[in-house]
Chain A
Amino acid sequence: MITADNWTPDQPIVALHDVHKSFGENEVLKGIDLEVMKGEVICIIGPSGSGKSTLIRTINGLTPVTRGSVKVEGQEVHDPDLDKLALRRKVGIVFQQYNLFPHKTVLQNVMMAPVLVLRENKDEVRERARSLLAKVQLNGKEEAYPAELSGGQQQRVAIARSLCMRPDVMLFDEVTAALDPETVKEVLVAIKQLAGEGMTCVLVTHEMGFAREISDRVYFTDAGRIVESGPPAQIFETPKDPRTQEFLSKVL
């Protein structure tokens, strides 16, 4: 049994076991098992409504589970005694709609959490925020407000904002789904760079080409279950399950 006390980096950094989630009568997750090793990039694909967002949100405790276990670095996420703050500094999430703070500048958006939540030194955080913004190609936009930026730019701010907390795991929930086609690429480039640096990433995505290129493993979900998983080449070229075959024939 892996717990927070005996967790070591060679064990799964994220581990879901038999996770069930119901919204009222509607069972959305019907027993999910999933493990992610440190530095791995995994993609979750599947039809809309199959529970992908719900699944990814259980990992940082935004959606409480009905049954089963979700562990991050050996720590049970849904333990009532959990230190939520400790979990949230470990796990960053980027949403489909960016969800930036509209009343704060780009730089303030990125700096806010480390300053307020981690109580870090403001000057140090500012340095880090600036270099993260530079990394996602947003130099010169520090003083802009979110609504003055394009969707792709806002999404890169959201990525920098998450990274400024120095998380161990990053979750991405269809982060390019709301973007114009021409700005999708700039966001994917930023994620790819991050993955290349060894960040552990869990992505829900509809960009099949990207999933194939970037992931170590792909999970296909349908109706609240993981239908099959494996290396991208296997899932995309020789899917075993008829549901995977049908889904891929529609999207590819």
Chain B
Amino acid sequence: MLDIIAPFFERLYETTGLNFSPFYDPYDWNRLLRGMWVSVELIIAIIALSLVIGVIGAGAQTSRIRAVRWLVAAYIEIFRNTPPIVQLLFFYFGLGAITPQVDMGGWYEPMIGSFGWAVIAIGIFGGSYNVEIFRSGVEAVPGTTVEAAEALGFTNFQIFVYVTLPLAFRFCLPALTNNIISLAKTSSLAYVIAVPEITYSLSGIWSDSVNVPEMMVLLFVYYIVLVAIIARLMSSLERRLALPGYGQ
């Protein structure tokens, strides 16, 4: 791949001064690929965690125990009303400092690295939105449909799994798509705690090669393409889950 494009970008650099070093220099090429890979891993982990938190949180909000409902409400308030970067720094420097170190055979490493903290912090941040999104989906499920399942002898758990959740998920999919895209973009904050994702990789390249504008263009293109891919995936999911004839 690099062999094919390298001559063109080398010429481009020589003739115009536009230095897209990752496209001819194997070392920078690897930094770019690695940055993209870590970024994708990070985004997938963040989204997965935020979805799990969203489902559990939405369930906990309907708990009979008042303290549980209160905790969920406090969680949502705190994480929706403070900047995600502050949350990330709090987790990494605040909690990171007091988590135990693991003996790696001679040297010690923190139990949770910067990647782990980025997933936890941004996942929890995204989860606070997902709780509300899932709750609005659950509220949109007609009580009469749930009642029909109850009358057929479904247990509460069966009603949740087979009726409420599949319908709520469909109803909240548009809002969920927005939040997932927003989380994909927010993942770039992991840069500040030195997670080697794309923004961090490219900043390494531009401080070595002094080609900030070119790398900035690359960064923009990367996120535009990534968001377009996520949007496509989500809309095809929406089409696949569409209820034929429903709401017409």
The finding on whether chains A and B are genuine partners in a shared complex, rather than unrelated, reads yes
Tell me whether chain B's interface is mostly helix, strand or loop, or mixed.
Answer: helix
B154 contacts which chain A residues (CB < 8 A)?
113, 116-117
Distance in Å: Cβ of B80 to nearest Cβ of chain A: 30
Q: At the interface, yes or no: A221 with Cβ under 8 Å from chain B?
A: no
Interface segment out of the listed A13-21, A65-73, A81-89: A81-89
Contact with A along B134-162 (1 / 0, CB 8 A): 00000000101101111111110010001
B170 contacts which chain A residues (CB < 8 A)?
103
Chain A residue at minimum C-beta to C-beta distance from B146? A99
Inter-chain contact B158/A117, CB cutoff 8 Å: yes
Q: At the interface, yes or no: A203 with Cβ under 8 Å from chain B?
A: no
Q: At the interface, yes or no: B234 with Cβ under 8 Å from chain A?
A: no
B162 contacts which chain A residues (CB < 8 A)?
101, 112, 116
Q: In the assembly, what is the distance between CA of A58 and CA of B61, in Å?
A: 29
- State how many residues of chain B have any CB contact under 8 Å with chain A: 25
Inter-chain contact A101/B163, CB cutoff 8 Å: yes
Chain B residue at minimum C-beta to C-beta distance from A96? B144
Q: At the interface, yes or no: A129 with Cβ under 8 Å from chain B?
A: no
Distance in Å: Cβ of B157 to nearest Cβ of chain A: 11
Chain B residue at minimum C-beta to C-beta distance from A158? B148
Interface segment out of the listed B7-15, B85-93, B195-203, B240-248: B240-248
Contact of A101 among B145, B151, B155, B248 (CB under 8 A): B145
A93 contacts which chain B residues (CB < 8 A)?
151
Inter-chain contact A102/B167, CB cutoff 8 Å: yes
Q: At the interface, yes or no: A204 with Cβ under 8 Å from chain B?
A: no
Q: In the assembly, what is the distance between CA of A100 and CA of B142, in Å?
A: 11
Contact of A148 among B144, B145, B151, B245 (CB under 8 A): B245
Interface residues of A, Cβ cutoff 8 Å to B: 60, 62, 84-85, 88-89, 92-93, 95, 97, 99-103, 112-113, 116-118, 144-149, 158, 161-162, 165
Q: Can you list 26 A-B contacts with CB-CB less than 8 angstroms, sorted by A residue number?
A: A88-B151, A92-B151, A93-B151, A95-B147, A97-B144, A99-B142, A99-B144, A99-B145, A101-B149, A101-B163, A102-B145, A102-B167, A102-B243, A113-B152, A113-B153, A113-B154, A116-B162, A117-B154, A117-B158, A145-B243, A145-B244, A147-B243, A147-B247, A147-B248, A148-B244, A162-B152
